[in-house]
Amino acid sequence: MMKLFLTTCFLILIASFNCYSQLPPIFGPEYDEIAQRDEMTRTFISPLRVMWTSDSTGELIKNTKVLLKMGNSQTSMSRQTQFCAIKTTAADTASILLDYGKELHGGLQLVMGGSSRREPSLVRIRFGESVGEANSQTYNSDWLMGYSTDDHAKRDIIMEIPRDGMIEIGNTGFRFVRIDLLQPNTLINLKEARAILRYRDIPYLGSFKSSNPRLDSIWLTGAYTTHLNMQEYLWDGIKRDRLVWLGDFHPELATITKVFGYNEVIPRSLDLACQQYPLPNWMNNMTSYSFWYLIIHHDWYMHNGDFDFLNKHRDYIIGLIDQIAAKIDTDGTETLGRFRFLDWPSTPNKEGVEAGYRALLTWALKDAQKLCKVLDEPEALKTCTTAIQKLNNQIKDHNNLKQAAALMAIAGILDPVKASQEVIAVDGPSRFSTFYGLYMLDALSMAEMHKDALDIILAYWGGMLDMGATTFWEDFNVEWMENTARLDEFTPEGMNDIHGSFGDYCYPSYRHSLCHGWSSGVTAWLTNNVLGIKVMEAGCKTLKIEPHLDNLDWVEGTFPTPLGVVKVKHVKLENGEIQSTIDAPEGIKII
């Protein structure tokens, strides 16, 4: 008993010390309200390869291999230390292009040796999610094809660097870095050029492995895409769209619950959204994104069973329900605003967007009904029910828009088989989108068309991998792949650049984000439908496990819950039956 008491006291002491060890003792209590510990982890990564230098003679840029070695962030004046020497002439700059192998969020650390100048030297640093972007010019006055921009994160920087010192540059999303020495007749010695990966150091509690390695790569790439966007708040993009967007939030939430389980970035971001857009404002000034707010709360509560957090948002939820319902007339007409946004690729199909928008509203109100039951709000529940009945008086036509057909199937106003066979599965991955792809896959699974869904996943998300992706993108069309160079290659004459030659709306050319969290929903779908794990009771207290292997021989993985990690393995036997092994923590009922 005494040993237990002393251990407890020690742990309390350590916890107390950690609370007050944020700053050295010289900082007094006046700093308590203005100092904040960085909760992110920083890891330094040396480049995997030097892709290119501007020096064809081998005389101006020497010993580039030293940059590929592990560094220590410390310069040196020892003659034993090796440096990469970079030299300019009176007429020419000197340039080097580095590849860090994976999409990263963070910046660059340069560790410098001596220089031919006593003064700092002028360099240009360009971050790029692709080879093309790292070599592109920057144009911020307009969104023009062929240019990158500095919107949301500075990716093109001209600055002075010291000699015999260290400097850190940038905070953006990138895989490639180009360094240009601009000072004429100058020699600099570069010891290290390491990327700074800034991320949440959290375990991947969920996992997915199967007899198809391509599918495994897709699952992990989706997980990593959202992981990079889990900064202080949940962003949609690490280069552009470094904001909390409530619609984009939903596929990320689906992925987070399958990979990480509970993470504070979700409730923190929902709290922030309510602070930034108090009622009667709409989330992100978009009515449809307020619909997503209700769906998000339902899904978060189902996974974690956190009534206290749901209750914290009670007033906003009930107020939002009343605000929505007040704009729906008896005949089903609604006046929720002219801007009906689903996702960018659906925008030209006005009739289809109208049908999908109303279906999304119906889905949100049905989830709100469930929340009202949990919160014991009978009047709000009645308001939701009446609003749904009014909306059902006008069912719009999907106009062959895959996004609309998917939402209508999920909302229960269109037969999933009809939606899938007549619209969603037509032409396979064509007219899919990275954001709404999750809901198209969900509709296919509701129609028991799992093989079609897997074929589309392998072609669509797998297509991005084929083009060099290490995270999934803001948008993608499989047609882009024809006569197109990968993002990790220089584009040969006569071929398209997968990054620079495409993109539309707010993401033309290199402004296009190649790490966008809304594209990660495929990871959640694979866990839900191939591993077959679905939450049936709040807090994951009851799980239904119904795998769909189709062409797979086996699949295994893990699923995080508030009660612990569930482990499953499914093997297809010679007679076609599936043999399942399930290991669930105590307190979880398996159906």
Q: Residue 254 maps to which CATH number? A: 1.50.10.10
- Show which of 174, 199, 224 is a domain's final residue: 199
- pLDDT at position 18 is 41
Is 379 part of a structural domain of the chain? yes
Residue 143 has a CB neighbour count (10 Å cut-off) of 17
> Can you tell me the distance from the alpha carbon of 98 to that of 558, in angstroms, rounded to the nearest whole number?
36
Which tokens belong to 143?
């969104």
The answer to whether residues 432 and 460 touch, using CB atoms and an 8 Å cutoff, is yes
Whether residue 51 is found in the same domain as residue 101: yes
- pLDDT at position 185 is 96
Residue position matching structure tokens 């840029």 = 61
Asked whether residue 335 carries a pLDDT value surpassing 60, the answer given is yes
CA angle 25, 26, 27 (to 5 degrees): 90
Whether residue 353 is found in the same domain as residue 307: yes
The answer to whether residues 244 and 292 touch, using CB atoms and an 8 Å cutoff, is no
Q: pLDDT per residue over 159-215, tens digit each?
A: 999 999 999 999 999 999 999 999 999 999 999 999 999 999 999 999 999 999 999
- pLDDT at position 13 is 36
Whether residue 336 is found in the same domain as residue 461: yes
- pLDDT at position 17 is 36
Which tokens belong to 337?
């605003």
- pLDDT at position 456 is 98
Q: pLDDT per residue over 457-496, tens digit each?
A: 999 999 999 999 999 999 999 999 999 999 999 999 999 9
Whether residue 304 is found in the same domain as residue 284: yes
Q: Which domain holds residue 269?
A: 207-474+513-571
Asked whether residue 10 carries a pLDDT value surpassing 90, the answer given is no
Q: Is the dihedral of CA 401, 403, 408, 409 positive or negative?
A: positive
Q: Is the dihedral of CA 310, 293, 515, 73 positive or negative?
A: negative
Helices 314-325 and 378-391 sit at what angle, rounded to 10 degrees?
30
Is 585 part of a structural domain of the chain? no
- Return the closest-CA partner of residue 262 out of 212, 316, 305, 322: 305
Whether residue 6 is found in the same domain as residue 49: no
Residue 126 has a CB neighbour count (10 Å cut-off) of 24
Mean pLDDT of the chain: 94
> Can you tell me the distance from the alpha carbon of 543 to that of 533, in angstroms, rounded to the nearest whole number?
7
| Res. 148 pLDDT band, cuts 50 70 90 | confident
Asked whether residue 1 carries a pLDDT value surpassing 70, the answer given is no
Is 53 part of a structural domain of the chain? yes
Is 84 part of a structural domain of the chain? yes
- pLDDT at position 142 is 76
| Res. 6 pLDDT band, cuts 50 70 90 | very low
Q: pLDDT per residue over 258-315, tens digit each?
A: 999 999 999 999 999 999 999 999 999 999 999 999 999 999 999 999 999 999 999 9
Asked whether residue 11 carries a pLDDT value surpassing 70, the answer given is no
Q: pLDDT per residue over 33-77, tens digit each?
A: 899 889 999 999 999 999 999 998 889 999 999 999 999 999 999
Which tokens belong to 587?
């307190």
Is 353 part of a structural domain of the chain? yes
Is 407 part of a structural domain of the chain? yes
Dihedral (Cα; 295, 357, 247, 456), 10-degree rounding: 100
Whether residue 25 is found in the same domain as residue 85: no
Q: Residue 184 maps to which CATH number? A: 2.60.120.260
Whether residue 70 is found in the same domain as residue 16: no
- Show which of 143, 177, 199 is a domain's final residue: 199
- pLDDT at position 7 is 41
Q: Provide mean pLDDT across the span 224-241.
A: 97
| Res. 132 pLDDT band, cuts 50 70 90 | very high
> Can you tell me the distance from the alpha carbon of 458 to that of 221, in angstroms, rounded to the nearest whole number?
13
Number of domains in the chain: 3
Q: Provide mean pLDDT across the span 214-242.
A: 97
Is 232 part of a structural domain of the chain? yes
Whether residue 381 is found in the same domain as residue 292: yes
The answer to whether residues 539 and 562 touch, using CB atoms and an 8 Å cutoff, is yes
- pLDDT at position 3 is 42
Whether residue 262 is found in the same domain as residue 394: yes
Whether residue 361 is found in the same domain as residue 439: yes
Is 351 part of a structural domain of the chain? yes
Whether residue 10 is found in the same domain as residue 70: no
> Can you tell me the distance from the alpha carbon of 162 to that of 250, in angstroms, rounded to the nearest whole number?
45
| Res. 389 pLDDT band, cuts 50 70 90 | very high
Which tokens belong to 45?
């990564």
Residue 101 has a CB neighbour count (10 Å cut-off) of 15
Q: Provide mean pLDDT across the span 531-551.
A: 98
- pLDDT at position 16 is 37
Dihedral (Cα; 169, 173, 174, 180), 10-degree rounding: -30
Q: pLDDT per residue over 562-587, tens digit each?
A: 999 999 999 999 999 999 999 999 99
Q: Provide mean pLDDT across the span 89-113.
A: 96
Whether residue 263 is found in the same domain as residue 118: no
> Can you tell me the distance from the alpha carbon of 250 to that of 236, in angstroms, rounded to the nearest whole number?
10
- Return the closest-CA partner of residue 86 out of 214, 190, 234: 190
